[in-house]
Amino acid sequence: MPIEMAEIETLRSYLTAVMGRAEHHADQVDEVTLALIGAVVWRKDPDTKLEVLSRKGALTNVLWVTIAGTRYAFSYNHDQKTIELRRGSLTGITVASFSNSSTLAQVKAVFAGL
C-alpha cells in the first residue's frame, strides 16, 4: 500500500524556488544544490521535520534540518557565492561551504561526519 509523503511536496517547492533563483543569481551553486538535497534526505533524523524560512508567504533560500540530534541551517552566502551549512542557527558555526566545485565525495564526507 502506498504511503503519503506530504513533506516531499514542501521540499520540492523549496527546491524549485531555489533552483529558479540560482539560475539568475547564484549559478555557482545550482548543481551542488541537488546533491545537498539528496544528502539532507539521506541524513535527516527520521522523526524530525524539515523547515524552510518563509517571508510574506514565499519560501526563501534557508532550510533547517536535524541530523544526529543537531539542528543545522543552510543558507546562501552572497559574498562567497556558496551554500553554507551552519550548526544550530543562521549565525552558528559554519561546518562546511559548498559550491559547484564541491565534489560528490566531499558532500558525502561532510554529511557522513555529521
DSSP letter at 19 equals H
pLDDT at 84: 96
Specify if 26 maps to a domain: yes
Specify if 53 maps to a domain: yes
The angle subtended at Cα 65 by Cα 1 and Cα 50, nearest 5°, is: 45
Specify if 31 maps to a domain: yes
Which residues lie closer than 8 Å to 84 by C-beta, 6 or more apart? 74, 75, 76, 77, 94, 96, 97, 98
Specify if 15 maps to a domain: yes
pLDDT surpasses 60 at 2: no
pTM for this one? Answer: 0.85
Average pLDDT, the chain: 87
pLDDT at 52: 80
pLDDT at 60: 61
Specify if 1 maps to a domain: no
- Domain residues for the domain of 34 are 6-112
Write out the three cell numbers for 56.
510574506
Q: Is 76 exposed, middle or buried (0-12, 13-18, 19+ CB in 10 A)?
A: buried
Average pLDDT over residues 8-35: 81
Q: How many domains does the chain have?
A: 1
Specify if 74 maps to a domain: yes
CATH number for the domain including 18? 3.30.920.70
